[in-house]
Amino acid sequence: MSRKVLGILLACALVLAGCGKTNPTGDSSQPSESQSGESQSHGAQPEDATGDVVEYSNDLFKITLPTELADLAEVETDSDKMYIYYKEAKDAGFSGLAFIVWAAGSPSDYAGGPYEKVGELSSENGDIYNVVKGYATEVQWDYNEPEMPEGFAKLYDAADSVVESLEGINGYTYTYEAGTKGEDLYNTVLSEYVKAVNEKWDATKLEEKNMSPEFAYAIHEMDNPLEHIGYAYKDINIDGVDELFVGIIYDDDELPGAIYDIYTIVDNKPAFVVSGTARNRYYNFDNHFISNVWSGGAGLYGIGIYNLESNSTEMIYQYGYKCDYYENEDGVWYKTYDGEEYEAATDEEIEAAENLEEKNVMFDYTPLADNEDAIEAANL
């Protein structure tokens, strides 16, 4: 894949109005000298140069760039953001934005944009900022160039190392990957499944607790249910924060990887998304979406593809298909873009529909029995 394609790939999944500075309310506009804070360009006015690295800071954090990268960069700072530009492109009249580092007060400030959470800043009095990295969704250099300029690519590729080595200042401590990993976010949720096993909840009680009634089968019909109820973590909506997926580990490989319950993080807290059953189950679709495979009896089945919104429990329908054998013994295929109104599918669409489930990624679930923290929490 060319670096030019890589540089605009996020635009397929996330939207940023404009290609530059984004303020805390979510409004986006192109950075300019009047909009952004101090402009720090190595060779012009670096914050602090020690020979090997150049340091830049704002009110909350500081970052460092190796001197060879700082020579390529112009860094603009606001109280809670930094914009790292490729200086050559910017001087030539192009936007030149390589990446953004932002300490956002709330996930709702950046949700829906091309931002990925990478950690948290915290203070002794309990204040927390969500540190995110972001990219523009349009080409930032001379679009007549067939490839991403080498200097731009070096800055773009440095984003991960920059946010990993970021440091909090003025009373704030930075923890890389804080608030992003499933093992740190969902043990309280998983402890409820342990409790359901311990107390032998039936299908009605499970549904009352926003859990799939399918787990009643594991609880009452399978030996050692904690070995047969499993979970997996995956950042399915590419916002940097893991989702939680819960399913059943069947002895006979029946419905491998099927998802019966989904959880996400909303405003830094776990939130229930949706439940399914064996006839209305979910899957990780191509590692970026969620598929819903459903059956309306022996002669009717379908699949729908959803996008899970960032910092939200809302699943947005993308497209889907159904095949109706009640209407015709050979099966009649239909397509839909909302899950409600269907129209006849073309031969090409039928072929795509028949192969769609091949993109389902089967989770290799971890048994609840292996999660000591969840078991301990359930027994408190």
For the chain, what percent of residues have pLDDT higher than 70? 87
Dmax over CA atoms of the chain, in Å, equals: 76
Q: How high is the pLDDT of residue 37?
A: 55
Q: pLDDT tens, 312-368?
A: 999 999 999 999 999 888 889 999 999 999 999 999 999 999 999 999 999 999 999
Q: What backbone phi and psi angles, to 5 degrees, belong to 51?
A: 105, -60
Q: pLDDT tens, 57-89?
A: 999 999 999 999 999 999 999 999 999 999 999
Q: What backbone phi and psi angles, to 5 degrees, belong to 305?
A: -110, 130
Q: How high is the pLDDT of residue 46?
A: 53
Q: How high is the pLDDT of residue 261?
A: 99
Structure-block tokens of residue 42: 């190595």
3-state helix, strand, coil in the chain (%, to 5): 25, 35, 40
238 conformational bin, left if phi > 0, alpha if psi -120 to 50, beta if neither: left
**How many beta carbons lie within 10 A of that of residue 71, not counting itself?**
14
**Segments making up each domain of the chain, as ranges:** 3-176, 182-378
Q: How high is the pLDDT of residue 138?
A: 94
SS3 105: coil
Rounded to whole angstroms, the Cα distance separating 89 from 87 reads: 6
Q: How high is the pLDDT of residue 34?
A: 34
Relative to beta strand 332-336, strand 315-324 is antiparallel
Q: How high is the pLDDT of residue 321?
A: 97
SS3 104: strand
pLDDT at 247 over 50: yes
- Spatial CA neighbour of 62 closest among 152, 157, 173: 173
Q: pLDDT tens, 96-122?
A: 999 999 999 999 999 999 999 999 999
Rounded to whole angstroms, the Cα distance separating 174 from 60 reads: 10
Work out the pLDDT band at 22, boundaries 50, 70, 90: very low
Structure-block tokens of residue 35: 């909009």
Q: pLDDT tens, 219-239?
A: 999 999 999 999 999 999 999
pLDDT at 43 over 60: no
Q: What backbone phi and psi angles, to 5 degrees, belong to 114?
A: -80, 60
